[in-house]
Chains A and B, each alone.
Chain A
Amino acid sequence: MKRDNRLRIIRNSPLVVQRGFIGLLVLSLLVFPVASQASSVIGESNTYVQSRQAADGTHILGAYEYLDFLAQNEKNEDVTFNIGGWLRYDINGNEFNKRSDTDLQYGYLSYKGKSSNTIVNVGRVMVSEGVAAERLDGVYARTDLVGNFGLSAYGGSPVEYGIDLPGDNVIYGTRLTHQVANLYRVGISFLKEEKNSQDFRKEEGIDLWVRPVDKVEIMGNSKYNAVTSDWASHYYYLVLGPFANVRLSTEASQINYKDYFIGASTSAFSFQPGILDPNEKARILGEEIAYDVTDKVSLSANYKAYTYTIAGHAQYFGGDVKYRMTSSSGTGLSIHKMDGGTDALRYTEYRAYGYTKFGKLGLTLDVMDVAYAAPINNVKDAYTVAAIATYDMTERLRMGADVEYSKNPDYDKDIRTFFRLTYKFDTTSGTRKEGM
């Protein structure tokens, strides 16, 4: 398939998504009354109302409902039903040119076996297996095999935004792992995606986690693009510690642009002069040192060096201090500097925040300032101040509101307000932390 075809954007029909979401909700509502006596349900409803001004000056007043729940039969905990999604209605106008919108984030029936770590998920599933970090409508399964091997496989229709082509859109893949407990886990994986019955993505990869000795860990992955026949990326971390409350993390990564930025559904990642050069290769070397001074105070410093085959180099560095007084109150300060090759790619970011709780009332203040090396639209400093208040009406019901004021190169005065109402429901006595 030609690259032009890969980048061809055909908008998803909102109706398809809406029908899917509404269909699953209706199905679940039909199933639950029947099964309610034997079922338990945990979940969360988040209602948000956001008021802001869009870049074109229109006032947006979006009302959102995010709903997720997990249901299971109390007598048979091996099978669960999981669903999550959102609906939005713009009270004042047409956000993103649509008065309303919906999305089904996930919705699947899951079976987890008592032995061999067997899992079978059917529906809209999120797959994270080696090279795959995908959302698909189909089937995902994994199991342990003999000799400390493990195998996973998945297949279905890819759930992506804006790149469905006419005809068959299929994604499938597999991952084989081997592990020795406490020493290493290594996996090899394969993914293939077809659009309009032609190869769209063919990726192969290796992932590993190794702990050769105590307090030393190496982890990472490499991805090979079988369409372009070259390595797309390598990401590796070395983590050391803690040694007297000090932890060190070293990152070494490489991204080959022509092999990595394939199949994007926005022109932001297209190979065009001034945007992305397909011959570019980026190498990132980073180091982070974190030191827990006490149980409540922690310091960290980090540095990242970016080197490019074509563009030159850049670096990002800074540090932060955090003071955690209690689980619900603390403060933090941070300074970071982005130092690109030109003034247009340089800024310094300052941030200070604090949060505390007085009984049922929670208060948060968050201040950020970004100082650009070169003024943008005659603005040298962009700052944002956010004040947030929450109130726990009951153990399960929390309401909150926040106001954000900012001045930046795009807005002389930008005021945003956000209202939230969170309700957690849980008909079991399980120990999963609510909201997590």
Chain B
Amino acid sequence: MKKKTVQIAFLLLLLMISLILFACAKTKSMVTLHPIELTAPPLCSDCHTDDKTAMDHTTNYITRHKFYLAQNKQACNVCHKEAFCSNCHAHKDELKPSDKYKSSPEMTLPHRGDYLVQHRIDGRLNPASCFRCHGRQNNERCATCHR
């Protein structure tokens, strides 16, 4: 009980400090919509010279996009709607992203072709790559065998 009280008091203190610091911050918010329509995949460095150049959508950007997302999702939302994320990162889905985007073969997407057999090898070598999407979500299809 005492521990809970200390925790609540700490959170209230943190909230108060945050409100004071928030009240003093006067930064201008990021735009909510990119001012120019972009053709995919965009190279931000074509126009920007600041830290936005780190988000150049080069061929291997897909392997690093999780870092930018975890740090500044707001920047992603300037061009991408929420549906763009959830089309692949689903709570529950029965269709593979590679089926939904089959007419875009240049996209880097997992599970193309017969992944049923291949997942037994990839999953054994790097199960963490499966866990991120199928650990606690989107594993209804996994559960048909992994009961």
Show the binding face of A for B, using Cβ within 8 Å. 9, 17, 42-44, 46, 48, 50, 55, 62, 64, 66, 68, 70, 77, 82, 84, 86, 88, 95-96, 101, 103, 105-106, 112-119, 126, 128-130, 132-133, 135, 142-147, 149, 151, 159-163, 177, 181-182, 185, 187, 207, 209, 211, 217, 219-221, 233, 235, 237, 239, 247, 249, 251, 255, 257, 260-261, 263-269, 276, 282, 284, 288, 290, 298, 300, 302, 306, 314, 316, 322, 324, 327, 330, 332, 338, 340, 344-347, 349, 351, 353-355, 362, 364, 366, 368, 370, 372, 376, 382-384, 386, 388, 390, 400, 402, 404, 406, 408-411, 414, 418, 430-433, 435-436
Contacts and interface: CB of A to CB of B under 8 A. Distances in A.
**4 tightest A-B CB contacts, nearest first:** A384-B113, A68-B83, A145-B21, A353-B105
B29 A267 contact: no
B5 interface: no
Nearest to B34: A431
6 contacts: A115-B26, A117-B29, A143-B18, A160-B137, A338-B125, A433-B38
A376 B25 contact: no
Given A116-B22, A345-B121, A418 B136 contact: no
A383 B117 CA distance: 12
A366 B105 contact: yes
B82 A126 contact: yes
B79 to A, nearest CB: 6
B60 A268 contact: no
Contacts of B114: 370, 382, 384, 406, 408-411, 414
B60 A290 contact: yes
B91 A282 contact: no
A269 B131 contact: yes
Contacts of B74: 117, 119, 142
Interface residues of B, number: 89
A133 B60 contact: no
A145 B67 contact: no
A386 B85 CA distance: 25
Interface in B86-128: 86-87, 89-95, 99-100, 102-106, 112-114, 116-118, 121-128
B47 interface: no
B140 A161 contact: yes
Contacts of B126: 282, 284, 306
Contact of A390 (B39, B82, B103, B112): B103
B6 interface: no
Contacts of A62: 94
A46 B102 CA distance: 14
Given A116-B22, A436-B79, A268 B130 contact: yes
Contacts of A237: 64, 67
A332 B106 contact: yes
Given A266-B142, A282-B126, A117 B30 contact: yes
A42 B82 CA distance: 12
Q: Which of A88, A219, A332 has the most CB of B within 10 A?
A: A219
Q: Which of B28, B79, B125 has the most CB of A within 10 A?
A: B125
Contacts of B100: 46, 48
Interface of B: 18, 21-22, 24-30, 32-40, 50-51, 54, 58-60, 63-64, 66-74, 79-87, 89-95, 99-100, 102-106, 112-114, 116-118, 121-128, 130-132, 134-144, 146-147
Contacts of B84: 435-436
A409 B50 CA distance: 50
Contact of A268 (B24, B73, B112, B134): B134
A105 B117 CA distance: 28
Contacts of B122: 338
A276 B103 contact: no
A117 B143 CA distance: 41
A406 B113 contact: yes
Contact of A340 (B24, B35, B86, B121): B121
B71 to A, nearest CB: 6
Nearest to A160: B136
Contact of B102 (A255, A257, A300, A386): A386
B102 to A, nearest CB: 5
A122 B46 CA distance: 36
A288 B60 contact: yes
A60 B137 CA distance: 23
Contacts of A144: 22, 25, 27
A272 B28 CA distance: 52
B20 to A, nearest CB: 9
B114 to A, nearest CB: 4
A411 to B, nearest CB: 8
Contacts of A143: 18, 22, 25
A249 B60 contact: yes
A90 to B, nearest CB: 10
A402 B102 contact: yes
Contacts of A414: 114
B37 A112 contact: no
Nearest to B35: A431
A433 B90 CA distance: 22
Contacts of A340: 121, 124-125
A71 B146 CA distance: 40
B146 A268 contact: yes
